[in-house]
Structure 1
């Protein structure tokens, strides 16, 4: 499986920008996006679960509250907390269940994070979506930030979709299927294109990735 990395990231940004004038305009106006990357850890998957359907800042605040409570975020330490204690760390009832289920899957050996990066995209998606609370968006973010798989378009990501519609001046009601078809133009570097879209979205709004 091909991967992108810190050494070839700018080169791949230039390559995908050659395929789309709107992506070229992002680099021209805002420069290259940061090299966003996360380690292959339980804490990273917890963080991505916390980011589901909330702001990045809110998710980070919840993660930091958890770290204040238990220090290193490990499956065994999370499972020592009661639901009420997780609620005090700003966890919703649903996400409490999802994170505990993930912790149990890792402790039981149902999931082995060390093995995931050596698998194909489809295999990783099958293993992760088998877990309660992990859907395609969560897997997309894991594949992009952790495994550095270069050809992911997270069609469920609101910021990327909003940025794409703004850039190409598409109607707000433009459907997901059309946008997925549009993203095919960026293959095999749809992940890199998405990084540019996020960079545009945040830069235009004067926001930093927390």
Structure 2
């Protein structure tokens, strides 16, 4: 019996626990020698957990196509401006207030659409927690401004689903190119193909790749 077979595939509606996370790291190290090398050199990655609900989903929208540091700063100013950060409270802010906080006009639209969908009953984030990934993806993508990457990050960080894989994530693409010695940055389709071997723990593989990206690639940029 192989290491991969010592535990049955995790149902996709279950969330990662510290125990299954540790097991998944062992499985992935066995499957991929590059992962084993990362874990040996840098130790295990964080689980990167976020609370479920509107504030986290809004923060992920802010993180679309900008640096995490920039999005974090905007989110921090937003949390200072309104407490608690609820859909209803968010909708009380006008364009000038949001612009002062750091919202682009596009992000204003997207976050308001999310807030309105929750307040009018179109979207129930609590009910989504118990649904399968495809249903969650379909429901969230009905909201303007929410695409696959946003859904992936919410599933991965907030709902802690074990096999979610954000194939469109730039950090993963850069990490894979360096880790696998690829001449060009892999496309989302190529990344998805590479990741098939990591099922049913692709969300844990994502964390290993982020860990590698933050530990090696971003540090090298700082040195330069």
TM-score between both structures, scaled by the size of structure 2: 0.89
Determine whether 1:163 maps to 2:175. yes
Query: 1:68 pairs with 62, 80, 85, which one?
Result: 80
SS of the aligned residue for 2:157 comes to: helix
In structure 2, the residue matched to 1:146 is 158
How many residue pairs get matched?
Answer: 207
Determine whether 1:135 maps to 2:147. yes
Q: Shift of the alpha carbon at 1:176?
A: 2.5
SS of the aligned residue for 1:18 comes to: helix
In structure 1, the residue matched to 2:200 is 188
Conserved in 1, the CA contact under 8 Å of 2:171 and 2:213? yes
Deviation per residue, 1:120-166 (Å, 9 max, x gap): 00000000001000000000001101111111211110001110111
**1:43-82 superposed matches below 5 A:** 43-82=55-94
Query: 1:18 pairs with 30, 40, 48, which one?
Result: 30
Conserved in 1, the CA contact under 8 Å of 2:163 and 2:202? yes
Conserved in 1, the CA contact under 8 Å of 2:173 and 2:187? no
In structure 1, the residue matched to 2:213 is 201
Unaligned ranges ≥5, structure 1: none
Unaligned ranges ≥5, structure 2: 1-12
Q: Shift of the alpha carbon at 1:173?
A: 4.3
Q: Shift of the alpha carbon at 1:7?
A: 3.1
TM-score between both structures, scaled by the size of structure 1: 0.95
Deviation per residue, 1:159-208 (Å, 9 max, x gap): 0111011100112243332221111010111110010000000011349x
In structure 2, the residue matched to 1:35 is 47
Call closer, same or farther: CA 1:38–1:174 in 2, change over 3 Å.
closer
Q: Shift of the alpha carbon at 1:71?
A: 2.2
Conserved in 1, the CA contact under 8 Å of 2:176 and 2:186? no
